[in-house]
Amino acid sequence: MDKRYRKAIIAGNWKMNGDNTSLKTFFKEVKQSKTPKNITKNILCVPATLITAAQGLSKSSKFSVGTQNMHFEQSGAYTGELSASMIMEAGAEYVIIGHSERRKFFGETDEIVAKKTTAAVLSGLKPIICVGETNCQRNFGVTLEVIRRQLKIALSSIDAVQLKKIVIAYEPVWAIGTGRTATPEQAQEVCKEIRTCLREMYGAKSARAVSILYGGSLNANNAREIFEQYDIDGALVGGASLKAQDFLKIIEIGAEIIGK
């Protein structure tokens, strides 16, 4: 079973939600819970304002801290932006890159995603790169082409050694925040294609070691069948990561099905 070659990852994306109070409550509940937290790799991607607090609170919780965006330059006249080194200095280890909300609302192109991916890796931040098709693209039957294009461009400057630091999240745009989860078969078909594409780019050994997550309205009720899919190694979770109890249930299912 190839799953033994990769990390099982459950990552939360708080988007533009949360404050110091909700963060404290979250980690208090995490620390009190009996859910096994050392079997899956758990990551909480918070707004940049909460990175340092999350890093402090996450100690002894077995959670790693991430954030949701970065600029590809190291410094300069980019008002309002944060570089990879700034985010790392604040305490982040992971960064979400190319989330569909950034692509849609902030004009993030595949080329920008590639630049950010390269800058993150060169700085030592671990990217969680999001790829996913729109409803329209799925209806026109071009899902796999779209995913391949996004992936190939995002990884265009990444070599096989750098690939070890990268996580890929398949997030169909039509499933994010809609309550409409991909079926396990749809999710597996695309995640398998992602791995095939990685194999063509980097070879079988490198491809089998990349953790591929599913994201899009995942919750404790549908996580099990998604995690059972051969090429799916975890989840990127939006809404259901906001409350520790909901997120912990998903972690528990992950620990049971994909954990080791």
SS3 126: strand
State the minimum distance, in angstroms, from the CB of residue 219 to ligand PEP. 8
In whole angstroms, the minimum distance from the beta carbon of 15 to ligand PEP comes to: 6
The minimum distance between CB 105 and ligand PEP, in angstroms, equals 12
Picking from 151, 157, 167, 164, the residue whose alpha carbon sits closest to that of residue 66 is 167
User: According to CB under 6 A, which one of 92, 154, 166, 236 is a site residue for ligand PEP?
Assistant: 236
Rounded to 5°, angle at Cα 178 from 174 and 182: 55
Q: Which helix (H) or strand (E) holds 118?
A: helix 110-123
In the list 91, 98, 132, 215, the residue contacting ligand PEP (rule: CB under 6 A) is: 215
Nearest to 158 by CA among 109, 205, 211, 113: 113
User: Does 180 participate in binding ligand PEP (rule CB under 6 A)?
Assistant: no
Q: Pick the closer one to ligand PEP by CB: 51 or 169.
A: 169
Asked if residue 46 lies in contact with residue 94, where contact means CB atoms within 8 angstroms, the answer is no
Rounded to a whole number of angstroms, the minimum distance from the CB of residue 43 to ligand PEP is 12
**Cα–Cα distance for residue pair 136/87, rounded to 1 Å:** 35
Between CA 81 and CA 48 the distance in angstroms is 10
71 is catalytic: no
CA end-to-end distance (rounded Å), the chain: 12
Q: Which of 99, 108, 193, 252 is catalytic?
A: 99
- In the complex, residue closest to ligand PEP by CB: 238
Total of residues contacting ligand PEP (CB under 6 A): 14
3-state class (DSSP) for residue 2: helix
What is the torsion angle, in degrees rounded to the nearest 10, for the CA atoms of residue 192, residue 195, residue 196 and residue 200?
A: 170
Residue list 136-165, contact with ligand PEP (CB under 6 A): none
Binding residue (CB under 6 A) for ligand PEP from 61, 83, 143, 217: 217
Among 82, 237, 248, 250, binds ligand PEP (CB under 6 A): 237
- By CB under 6 A, tell whether 216 contacts ligand PEP: yes
Query: Which 3 state secondary structure label does DSSP give 130?
Result: strand
Q: Which of 177, 204, 205, 245 binds ligand PEP (CB under 6 A)?
A: 177
- By CB under 6 A, name the one of 120, 218, 248, 250 that touches ligand PEP: 218
Stretch of residues binding ligand PEP (CB under 6 A), selected from 48-56, 107-115, 136-144, 214-222: 214-222
Does the footprint of ligand PEP cover residue 13 (CB under 6 A)?
Answer: yes
Are the C-beta atoms of 177 and 138 separated by less than 8 Å? no
CA dihedral over 181, 12, 116, 48, signed as positive or negative: positive
Contacts with ligand PEP, residue ranges (CB under 6 A): 13, 15, 171, 176-177, 215-218, 236-240
Residues annotated as part of the active site:
99, 171
